Chains A and B, each alone.
Chain A
Amino acid sequence: MNRTEITFLDHTFKNPVIAASGTYGYGEDYRRYYKPEILGGIALKGLTLEPRAGNKGIRLWETPSGVLNSIGLQNPGLDVFARKVLPKVVKLGKKTEILVNIAGHRSEDYMKVLDFFKDYPEFLYELNLSCPNVDDGMAFGSDPDEAYKLIKKLRRNCELKLIVKLTPNCPSITEVALAVEEAGADALSMINTIQGFAVDYRRKKIPFDNVYAGLSGPAIKPIALKMVFDTAQVVKIPIIGIGGIRSATDVIEYLLAGATLVQVGTANFNNPRAMKNIIEDLEKYCRKTDERCADLVGSLQL
């Protein structure tokens, strides 16, 4: 009996553990440690319509129990992805669930990418709303009205499964969650990185060319967990919980708080076998307690 098996948007995941976008490339880079097929799913590196070189200068800065990153969505763009990467992803997708992560500046950017993928309904589509909107510099995801308008547009004529990845860098993440639910999102994934800042005291400089950067890792877990919990109280669509997960017990905490699936990112850097260990420990836990992951979802006693 597979106690970790769980259904999400009509897909059967062998376990709720997904690799987080931006930490796992296109699924192949950790092969020397374990087969990526053991994962419940993999969220691919963010894809944009046009190629992006990403940020110059320093892209990483360590913090206590976390990492600040400013990668800048470096990716080869849809064209090169479709030619060079997609065939391998399709192959991998036969053995594990694939979440194609898409970012953009304008609604047209997202639409063109989604339009290309209409022939690939077997994948799930995670929409990154943290890219600054070209018009006014605010990320779509910070404003419920902007988020609603975008998702409403993308939802029209699109049969694909749309998961909206929410940013915590906004006045109210639950308002944005409700807005995108109403606009027709199939699910939510939360949270993306929390905006942070660093100082290089030796050089008396700001390390990042873009000044600010995104914080991830164990430090953000209590904040992410709170946001998942609060959102699960008000939306009906399923939620993927992300933020500082590095053990099976962390996974269980998110499931209890209301997440159906989780994503693991930063933990891969501290230990390339982290996800394999998490999955094995999750199986052990469920065997010991005679529980199924599916039963844990949202079963916190309130």
Chain B
Amino acid sequence: MPYLIRKILHPNDWLEVAFAFEDDDVRPEPGQFYMFRLSPYAPILPRPFAVYDYDGAYMTFLVRMVGEGTWLIWENEEGLELYGPYGKPFHAPDDKPLVIVGGGIGIAPLNFIAEDYIDSGGRYLRSYLGFDGKKFDCGFLEQYSRPIITTEGYITDKVQIIYPDEVVVACGPRPMLETMCKIVPPENPLYLSLESRMACGVGACLGCVTDFPLVYKKTDSGLVLSKTKQVKVCTDGPVFKREIV
């Protein structure tokens, strides 16, 4: 099981936690997540966190300290166990330009997806990162993706143009993802990394199942929601493709 080796508390309540692997641990792929079991007693449910970075040796998570569970990772690592990697891996096609759009903590899975893209030979990466006042300095994305960053308002307002052939991957609050579904042209593949409350993480309990607006149809006034899809975020996703009918 992966074990904790480093915790870094950043300004604005951002926490980076790094783990090393034991020899027979399965290694993560982009798009995947782990369940953090904070204690055998309480909180009783583990918390899902997307893998933020994996350099072949160490795995890092980016966590927003928002409540009891997340503060426990910083304050007390006794009893912390990691279960995973869970979820379907996602590799952005390395022969197409990639656009990353992140809202707040949504940056976490996007960073690993972007790193993997560059490592696989991807050459054209750009990004939009929105923060609700509390910015996080993401070294990799700042260096490799010429990010447009906002710390107030909606990041989607800044997404003015998507070029032909670009593949877009977005992660953030649900309203942001719904907006992305409508503004990214239908010819551009759009992928969304979803989050959900979870219990088992392995597809057994159906607690993470959500009805997400994933299917859109072309109309004269643009893209309009056609129907929602019922998906199991932990095993069908967390990354899902927008569908155009």
A residues near B (Cβ < 8 Å) are 22-25, 29-30, 32, 45, 53-54, 56, 58-62, 64-67, 69, 71, 74, 217-218, 266, 268-272
Contact = CB atoms under 8 A, between A and B. Distances in A.
B20 interface: no
A271 B204 contact: no
A71 B206 contact: yes
A74 B211 CA distance: 13
A45 B205 CA distance: 8
Contact of B202 (A30, A64, A218): A30
Interface of B: 37, 40-46, 81, 83, 197-209, 211, 230
Given A67-B199, A271-B81, A29 B204 contact: yes
Contacts, number: 78
A218 B40 CA distance: 11
Contact of B44 (A22, A25, A62): A62
A25 B203 contact: yes
Contacts of A268: 200, 204
A205 to B, nearest CB: 15
Contacts of B81: 271
A267 B230 CA distance: 26
A269 B197 contact: no
B18 to A, nearest CB: 23
B209 A74 contact: yes
A217 B44 contact: yes
A272 B43 contact: no
Q: Which of B46, B202, B204 has the most CB of A within 10 A?
A: B204
List of 10 A-B pairs having minimum Cβ-Cβ separation, nearest first: A25-B204, A29-B204, A60-B207, A269-B199, A60-B197, A29-B202, A62-B45, A59-B207, A29-B203, A74-B206
Contacts of B211: 56
12 contacts: A25-B204, A45-B204, A59-B206, A60-B207, A64-B42, A65-B44, A69-B207, A268-B204, A269-B45, A270-B40, A272-B200, A272-B201
B207 A71 contact: yes
B196 to A, nearest CB: 9
A60 B211 CA distance: 15
A25 B200 CA distance: 10
B200 A270 contact: no
Nearest to A72: B206
Contacts of B201: 272
A23 B205 contact: yes
A39 to B, nearest CB: 13
Contacts of A58: 197
Contacts of A22: 205-206
Given A23-B205, A71-B205, A74-B209, A29 B46 contact: no
Contacts of A29: 200, 202-204
A136 to B, nearest CB: 28
Contacts of A32: 202
Contact of B200 (A53, A54, A269): A269
Nearest to B81: A271
Nearest to A272: B83
Contacts of B83: 272
B209 A54 contact: yes
Given A30-B202, A60-B197, 18 more contacts: A23-B205, A25-B205, A29-B202, A29-B203, A56-B211, A59-B207, A59-B208, A60-B45, A67-B199, A69-B205, A71-B205, A71-B207, A74-B209, A269-B44, A269-B199, A269-B205, A271-B37, A272-B202
